Structure 1
Amino acid sequence: MKVPWDRLRMNIARYAPMFCALIVSVVLLYIASRTRPRQPMFLDQQDRVGLKSNVQEGTKEKKSLPEPALGTGEGVAAHPIPLEDELRTMTNKQLATLYNDYLTNVQVLCRDKIRMGNIHGGGWDVCVDGHYKLKKDNCIVYSFGIDNDFSFDDDVADTFGCEVHAFDPSMNKDDHQRGKLINFHNLGLADINGNGKSSWPMKTLPVIRQDNGHAEKDIDYVKIDIEDSEWGALRYAFKTDALKGIKQLSLEFHIFGKEEVSRYIARLNVLRELYNQGYRIFWTHNNVVYPACRFTSIFDGRQRTRCHEVYFLKWV
């Protein structure tokens, strides 16, 4: 029988492309099944929270970890602050950049936070995740710096039934009871016990806690907005262990006056000590509402703010 070679060649030419495509597909599927996906080269914030890290350099001992609400392990500083000797070797630009970068990065994750008080100036954010949530009718809040805006204090008292102590010596108001739960004190927070500028009465945090019967009690939330006096007040609080038992700490950090290397170093020392005492940033934003807060840095030429609102959890 004679083989029809012409017809065979036509069939081969017709089906060869499909056959080759099938072979290529099989090979590609095999390669894909044997190849693992590459791991990403970065860690998202949730992964960071799960990492274990020591407190920053300079702390003598590693602190034990309480049962956290949001995960396991300590929060990791994206921009760790070196010891003062190393800070003094850094350039003006490096110090200014480190200060601003540290205050604008989150270190731990709070998945449930709420705004208490005015949505703009006067209001503050509160983490209500896990054991950080303010317990109904069983919580204590300190609020330093009112400036005639009680919206935060009123909201905390009305929503959670907290015992609130509000402090401000600049309002020309005597001590009084504001409603059932809010105690107003004509008193400022500082690093001295006595009269401060404008002859305002001032006290340190340990004395204030002692006066209110809270020296040995946990305080759920402390808000501090005292126009650049926070730095000295914090340094004194470190010396006296006055932050003991404070679960959430929220501050507006200021850097008023001329940009100076010494100012940045002093403030970075305070921020490092806050970290070493176990406080981790869970929320932060730049206050640009007030024109006095905005400026252009002479060190790095960037648009900056003199006012950072920063929120901390007692994490370790």
Structure 2
Amino acid sequence: MILKASDFTMSSKLRLMLSAWACLVLFVVLGGHTALLQPASVAYRNLQHTPGISRNTESNSSSRGRLKNELEYFELLGRTSGYCRKLVTFGGSSCRRLMDGDKQVCLDDHLSMPRKDCLVYSFGAGYDVSFEDELIDFAGCELHLYDPTTNATGFIESEDKINFHKIGLSDSDKIIMANDTRKSFQLLPFDKVLSQNGHLGRTIHYLKIDIESSEWEALPYMLEKGLLDNVLQLSMELHSNFLIYPSEKWMEVLQRQHDILLSIEAIGFRKISYRENMNMAGFIKLPYEEDQRPCCGEVLYVRDPSSLGHVSVI
């Protein structure tokens, strides 16, 4: 069953204003050519549940092992390995019938969020915190929002309930400089973030990562250190930035990303859904494809109940 969070909570005037602002930004970025963004018709399906797999056992599926070509990477992204009976969409703003910023949450019994006793981490805010606001309204979780590039306190509706940190996520403690503005940004690894908040070892009911390609830097460290072992749901926007490399490096980059995603499933996560993000300005085109495809997609992984307590490996 697919539900919208608005079935539970009310939208606000502020969210409508942010939606209109997002449309204006997209219009300016695309030089007025908003027709480049094609309306997405996303069909959600409840898929047959795949039993838990052993990390030491090879699957007969072609999703294991080496990729044959670049296209197979994207085909496998769309394959799910689990299902959710109560899949709910929270947040999002619309522009020309396109949604962006919305995230899916599974509310099946073993993943339920105990009201006022749940913990959520969200990395990447931009200028749309509708997901965080709606989730707070619904579950009343302790929610920590991280983004080094913006001051989200200016447009958070639930400012008294959302803890905002002007810090980014990475695989180490470091300061980086933006090439265009020369601004500096502080980045921290996930274990240091958890330690600062006194949350090491606590169950994290939902972890959102939308950090503009930096997920491929942060995830290997998180897997190696076992930092996903206490996470029940993992929602990410995956970015395909392999085209910035010489063509002879494409398969190496995509194979690494594929291996990282397989490692997530190896510790007991199941892929519930993958949705191409049609509301992005960036599209990619493989040499042997006629049509372009979005550069980004939304993926949701949830814990198989039998996997809790597994040790991470990569």
| Match of residue 164 from structure 2 | 184
Q: Partners in 2 of 1:173 and 1:117 — Cα distance?
A: 16
**1:253 touches 1:307 (CA, 8 Å); kept in 2?**
yes
Deviations 1:273-311 (A, max 9, x none): 11111111112110011121x222125555322101000
Matched, 1:80 2:63: yes
Q: How many residues align?
A: 245
Q: Partners in 2 of 1:277 and 1:101 — Cα distance?
A: 22
1:110 aligned to 84, 93, 100, which one? 84
| Match of residue 54 from structure 1 | 53
Q: Partners in 2 of 1:116 and 1:196 — Cα distance?
A: 32
After TM superposition, the structure 1 = structure 2 runs for residues 107-146 of structure 1, keeping only pairs within 5 Å, are: 107-118=81-92, 120-146=99-125
Q: Secondary structure of 2:135's match?
A: helix
Q: CA deviation at 1:144?
A: 0.5
Q: Secondary structure of 1:171's match?
A: coil
Give the gaps of 5 or more residues in structure 2: 1-44, 94-98, 179-183, 308-314
Q: CA deviation at 1:128?
A: 0.5
Q: Partners in 1 of 2:154 and 2:61 — Cα distance?
A: 43
After TM superposition, the structure 1 = structure 2 runs for residues 90-109 of structure 1, keeping only pairs within 5 Å, are: 94-109=68-83
1:296 aligned to 271, 275, 285, which one? 285
Structure 1 residues 252 and 192, CA gap change in structure 2 (3 angstroms): same
Matched, 1:286 2:260: no
Structure 1 residues 265 and 257, CA gap change in structure 2 (3 angstroms): closer
Structure 1 residues 96 and 207, CA gap change in structure 2 (3 angstroms): same
| Match of residue 234 from structure 2 | 249
Matched letter for residue 242 of structure 1: L
Q: CA deviation at 1:179?
A: 2.6
Q: Partners in 2 of 1:176 and 1:307 — Cα distance?
A: 25
Q: Partners in 1 of 2:149 and 2:124 — Cα distance?
A: 9
After TM superposition, the structure 1 = structure 2 runs for residues 233-272 of structure 1, keeping only pairs within 5 Å, are: 233-258=218-243, 260-272=250-262
Q: Partners in 1 of 2:154 and 2:193 — Cα distance?
A: 14
| Match of residue 159 from structure 1 | 138
Q: CA deviation at 1:254?
A: 0.5
Matched letter for residue 114 of structure 1: V
Q: Partners in 2 of 1:78 and 1:116 — Cα distance?
A: 32
Q: Secondary structure of 2:232's match?
A: strand
Q: CA deviation at 1:132?
A: 0.8
**2:127 touches 2:152 (CA, 8 Å); kept in 1?**
no
**1:174 touches 1:185 (CA, 8 Å); kept in 2?**
no
Q: Partners in 1 of 2:253 and 2:287 — Cα distance?
A: 14
**1:227 touches 1:254 (CA, 8 Å); kept in 2?**
yes
Q: CA deviation at 1:79?
A: 4.2
TM-score, reference length from structure 2: 0.71
Greater radius of gyration (CA)? 1
| Match of residue 213 from structure 2 | 228
Matched letter for residue 107 of structure 1: S
Q: Secondary structure of 1:280's match?
A: strand
As a proportion of its length, which structure holds more helix? Answer: 1
Q: Secondary structure of 1:246's match?
A: coil
Q: CA deviation at 1:243?
A: 0.6
Give the gaps of 5 or more residues in structure 1: 1-43, 63-75
Matched letter for residue 77 of structure 2: L
| Match of residue 29 from structure 1 | none
Structure 1 residues 211 and 257, CA gap change in structure 2 (3 angstroms): same
Structure 1 residues 121 and 110, CA gap change in structure 2 (3 angstroms): same
**1:79 touches 1:101 (CA, 8 Å); kept in 2?**
no
Q: Partners in 2 of 1:176 and 1:303 — Cα distance?
A: 34
| Match of residue 41 from structure 1 | none
Structure 1 residues 60 and 300, CA gap change in structure 2 (3 angstroms): same
Matched letter for residue 277 of structure 2: N
Comparing 127-136 with 256-265, greater Cα deviation is found at: 256-265
Q: Give the structure, 1 or 2, with the largest relative contact order (CA under 8 Å, sep 6 or more).
A: 2
